[in-house]
Amino acid sequence: MRLTLGSLKMLEKMETVDVDELIEEFETITKDAERIQRETLRKILEENASAEYLQNLGLNGRNDPESFKSCVPLVTHEDLEPYIQRIIDGDISPILTGKPITTISRRHVIYISGTTQGKPKFLPFNDELMETTLQIFRTSYAFRNREFPIGKGKALQFIYGSKQSKTKGGLNAGTATTNVYRSSTFKAEMKAMQSQCCSPDEVIFGPDFHQSLYCHLLCGLIFREEIQLVFSTFAHSLVHAFRTFELVWEELCDDIREGVLSSRITVPSIRAAMSKILKPNPELADLIHKKCSGLSNWYGLIPELFPNAKYLSGIMTGSMEHYLKKLRHYAGDLPLMSADYGSSEGWIGANVNPILPPELATFAVLPNIGYFEFIPQRVGNLESQVLFIEPKPVGLTEVKVGEEYEIIVTNVAGLYRYRLGDVVKVMGFHNSTPELKFICRRNLLLTINIDKNTEKDLQLSVDEAAKLLAEEKQEVVDFTSHVDLSTDPGHYVMFWEVSGEVNDEVLKECCNCLDRSFVDAGYVSARKVSAIGPLELRVVLKGTFQQILDHYLGLGAALSQFKTPRCVGPTNKTVLQILCNNIGKSYFSTAYG
């Protein structure tokens, strides 16, 4: 990452991170959100006025929101692909941005059902986007630190760089998180916040994530007294890390006792870096062994291992809510702090109320990091009801509390009126900027005929049925779904991996409960008249979801950004095959007779 004047200034400032000052800055910009939005749009349009994309839209130097909205269409990633492809291929003319793009974020689309699954998507990444990322991190850090001040120390961060490659045109391409972790500005920021990752770069950027994970755990144990917080980008990686710990803890203790790294670590650069850290320490090995042996079913594992950790942090909302139960189990009394809201397209909001439980977390939009519009999801006006046209987007400060919207982003890296595909709900306002709750991806997940069920509906249904498992002291390790149209009528299929043995009667009841818990009127009526067949619950063998994860990592996805696909479409043949090859038992619902 090249250091711009802006980031250099920031570095100077970061030497002395002043939490009160950061909060004050946030308060100032959010008090004047409408004006700041206009200014941000003006700046974006001025800086990119020479971009071919904008030139073709006839803005002719106008940069007010009204002209912008009348000239620039709403777009999806698909619309921008030809432009992005030219950038990737090395065309350095101003295409989407004034200055040429030098870095590309690569994302594997793994959570959307449909035809693009598994195919990487590319998005522009630049210094300006990096700066907005840092601004979000700094803001939420300030609010977190006000509640739980972190002294000098280290962070156990389960972060993984994806493979960085060069595009045909010579641009660096990595996942957005990798682009961030590799940046010197980011590293300086982390240093200023006094929570450097306890693992060396060779571990973070290692070529094999299994080996990186093992070494993250090992570094965490070696520096256990110094660990102030435990972090991963998404909560899934935290749970995955400690599930792995359950399997490898004795080997980790052996390594610490002897001061010799397990032979499972074969990457020379990782071995070399770890040899500088790992020294024989039988006392530490005995202590960890004793602590682990003394735990009941690993409850409270994290504070036992890291006695000075203040909290766990990572994105815990949306599709990550499923992992909260397990995370709380490992975390014991440690607070969970849900991190911010953003995407490879750019950040949107910071969690400025970090002490709220993740289920209640909201994100205050930073009005100076992009220009935001919102498409109301409730068809409110007659015109749109009659003509079936999408209601008009409203501005950041025009949204209404209690309403749901799809977010439209205009960012500093060449996206103009870009449909992000996320649905959010406005929960309130922080000064004049809205506080958003993430609801779901907009794409419908499950639909056969008149039924419409989203990721959120699926999550609620699984949560409800999982209560029956909890009574048996078992849990849903992970889950996904599929619409099976090979039967007539078609039906929903749920795939569950369950933590232990559960008897057939309980699983049958879970299956009925899943079916009953889809309360969408379309689904219920179609089920009643058998226009949709009985829901099927397929319980898959242990390790099935690990195979799915490995499949995506093999395609070049990064563990840091991994989200289990909650619906597997018919075109996603490999994942469907993994699931179908691992079916242990299956049940059909009798909920509708």
Q: Which residues bind ligand AMP (CB under 6 A)?
A: 107, 176, 315, 317-318, 341-344, 420, 422, 438, 441, 561
> Mapping DSSP to helix (H, G, I), strand (E, B) and coil, where does residue 336 land?
strand
Query: Taking the complex as a whole, how short is the minimal distance between the CB of residue 446 and ligand AMP, in angstroms?
Result: 17
Q: Which is nearer to ligand AMP, 344 or 410 (CB)?
A: 344
- Give the type of residue at 168: K
DSSP β-bridge partners for residue 376: 405
> Which residue in the shown chain puts its C-beta closest to ligand AMP?
318
Q: Which is nearer to ligand AMP, 274 or 399 (CB)?
A: 399
Query: Taking the complex as a whole, how short is the minimal distance between the CB of residue 234 and ligand AMP, in angstroms?
Result: 8
Query: Taking the complex as a whole, how short is the minimal distance between the CB of residue 347 and ligand AMP, in angstroms?
Result: 9
Closest by CA to 227, choosing from 283, 158, 169, is 158
Pairing of strands 165-166, 311-315: unpaired
Query: Taking the complex as a whole, how short is the minimal distance between the CB of residue 354 and ligand AMP, in angstroms?
Result: 12
Q: Which is nearer to ligand AMP, 310 or 437 (CB)?
A: 437
Query: Taking the complex as a whole, how short is the minimal distance between the CB of residue 451 and ligand AMP, in angstroms?
Result: 22
Q: Which is nearer to ligand AMP, 200 or 318 (CB)?
A: 318
For the chain, the first-to-last Cα distance in angstroms comes to 61
Q: Which is nearer to ligand AMP, 317 or 368 (CB)?
A: 317
Alpha-carbon distances, residue 72 vs 65, 137, 382 (angstroms): 10, 30, 25
The CB density around residue 235, as the number of other CB atoms within 10 Å, is: 27
Query: Taking the complex as a whole, how short is the minimal distance between the CB of residue 440 and ligand AMP, in angstroms?
Result: 8
Query: Taking the complex as a whole, how short is the minimal distance between the CB of residue 106 and ligand AMP, in angstroms?
Result: 10
> Mapping DSSP to helix (H, G, I), strand (E, B) and coil, where does residue 462 land?
helix
Token couple for 73: 């269409």
- Give the type of residue at 317: T
- Give the type of residue at 12: E
- Give the type of residue at 386: V
Query: Taking the complex as a whole, how short is the minimal distance between the CB of residue 122 and ligand AMP, in angstroms?
Result: 12
DSSP β-bridge partners for residue 124: 104
DSSP alpha helix (H) spans, 32-126: 33-47, 52-55, 65-71, 77-88
Q: Are 135 and 346 in contact (CB under 8 A)?
A: no
Q: Which is nearer to ligand AMP, 425 or 441 (CB)?
A: 441
Q: Which is nearer to ligand AMP, 107 or 216 (CB)?
A: 107
Measure the CA angle with vertex 430, ends 426 and 434; round to 5°.
Answer: 30
Q: Which is nearer to ligand AMP, 340 or 515 (CB)?
A: 340
